[in-house]
Chains A and B, each alone.
Chain A
Amino acid sequence: MPNAVKHVLFILVPLIAVFAVLPGLYQNHLLLFNFVTFLILAQGVNIIYGFTGYLPFGYVGFFGAGAYGFAVLVMHYQSPALVAVLAAGLVGVLLGLLLTPLLRLSGAYFAIANLAASLAVLHLVANPALEGITKGPYGVSLTGTFNPSHAYYAALVVLTLTVSGVVFLKNSSFGLALQAVREDAVSASMAGVNVVRMRIAAWLASALVAGLAGGIYAWYVSVFYPDNVFSGEFSIFAIVFALFGGVATISGPIIGVLILYGVYNLIGFTTPQYFQLIYGLLIMGLVLFLPAGLVSLATRRGWHVP
């Protein structure tokens, strides 16, 4: 059996199946939706960081832009939700295109510039002068599209596409070439790889994913403020989850979200007084002892982790 088929059968299918049936078994649908959203975002971070090496500290910019793309279409054009979600993805890609010059930076410079870019988009959207378009700082309240269960299943579709994308990267020359660029751009060019084009492709793919996720988020919650959908927590969580599990794998970011976001909610519910402490220690422990993520526990032993 080809590896890609194995990865779909043993990772993607069970993941989607579980999240497809869970709403019938578990009452807290918002929590399930948040899990799916973070699964998408962590894989989006995986695409741009794991495969290409750019740490997107302002990743939420695409998410927030997608949410507002959705809102603008629904508010001003009475667009159906699905069309507005596609538009949200497009907004993410357009913002990504606008930000391609950032790819000339590397390391911390890229991370900081990306963070600054996301703040710039936030302040643009929240600008009272744009009230007529975005409702500025007063927030959005969407009527007519509200349907959390449809939004949830749309999120599952986007998750399916995203994980399929990562399965492709893990099993194709294209994904290998991306990793080659990450490892050594000069050598990659001597392997015949068009470095600039590869970086842009990965960047836009991860922007698309976050834009779609943001659009669906807007659909799900229907009422939100700029600070909600541009909250830096989205970037930080998605990055921490992906790193915790292990990037440049299919399973790492999934494991990272399930464990860390699970623990996050568990201690948040049961012992909120220790919450920050436990969570902080967990992340410090990870950075100190497992910098390559949980999956490195297995890869260190020579096991192959998809």
Chain B
Amino acid sequence: MITFSEQQLKTPKYMRDVYLVTGGNSEFRRAFPEKRTEELCIEALQEACDYINTTPQELKKHIHSCYYGHFADHFGDQLLGEAVIHDRLGLDPLGNVGIKTGGATGGSTLWEASKAVASGYSDCVLAMGWERMDEVPTDEGNNYIASAADKDWETPLGHIYTGYYAVMAQRYWQIFGKEEDSFRRTMAEIAVKNRGYACHNPFAQAPLKITVDDVIASPVVAFPLRALDCCLMSVGAACAILADEETAYALTDTPQLIYVAAGSHTLRVADRRNMEIPLLPNETKDQYKDLGKEFPGGDRYPGFTGFLAARMSAYYGYRMAGVVDPTRDLDLVELHDAFTISDIQTYEDIGIRPYGLGRTYVESGDCYHTNPNTKAPGKLPANLSGGLIGCMHAVGATGIMQTIECMYHLHGRHGEIHGDERRWERFGKQKPADWEDLQVEGANRALAISHAGVGSHVTATIVVNPDHRLDK
């Protein structure tokens, strides 16, 4: 059993507070044949400026360094795409750097940007992420995604990403889901919920009203995963402006504290060895003693059925922000629902539920805006944006989009942004007659999880209203 040293488990430290000043998203679609990438980035930046009543010209005067998240250069057939965007935004001669950590690229971009402010290197930075997946056919796109595995020898054998996910999902399904029909239906509930929430989000790519039975009738991708259990592939951009306290309050009256932490695990899942599970503040040492009795085969955990990288990001991030119990201390979460089953696995890694009991977060109704069982507000609503299943997965932008959605709730401006008729019109969409304001009343703290591959990189971004910071 591998254990971690005290130095490795140190709570990460910012040398000063870091604030989220503003942010914005472009619209997200499967394809934008009529829009160039920089137009999408400018759209996101303009949204961020409008949000605090400023202009790109004015905001740019404050920016001191730039962080760009963009996963697959191949998609746009353009190496150094980050530098191209930097030039087109007119941000030369500021220092800029491209960040690539697969599906977690958006979260990692915020991670790098926050450290630049925390260290004092910059007082104000731009974090911008995007993805362009519409310039290659889907087959070729999948090939690029497969290239994120160990291409030397794994991919020729057909040991690919979705296959790895499937064997992990199978193991979780058999041990913790006990292959129960009820567990399969719980997975489907997530797919129904997130697509349903996307109906109220004008930025979202795939709003859809479906039922649990529709999900269960959709084609099998790799059992038990079906087509409607899987996330989207999108084009779009998202950006955030981070700053120190003085700059943040010069730009807006209501900046929010932001904390970003990261973890990793081996790219090849077969390399994952038996490691200690670092405990979150709401867990106890002997809590998992009998896990193997309750769920036979579930004693060596996590590693292959959970995401150690997610556990590490929460381990660091909760301590940075003072979060003890996520369900009590947070008001909403945006999770990386790449697949419904990986969403359930993540609930356990980040301490929303103990290992083995992830499904109860859905079954209790806690993950809903309004609990369908009690009709009271959900205890910790998840993915009100629609998530990766209903809103988007434009890889480099995803982790930033999630954070911006959290910001809207903390400002009490979710309805203003999502309900604006002009925005629906500008995107060429009809605002639904049954549009609902999904604002979480009185939200002060939120979490976004950004996740790569089969859990190779995960970041936890926590946004906090400074009047409601937690004791550490």
Q: Do A and B come from one complex?
A: no
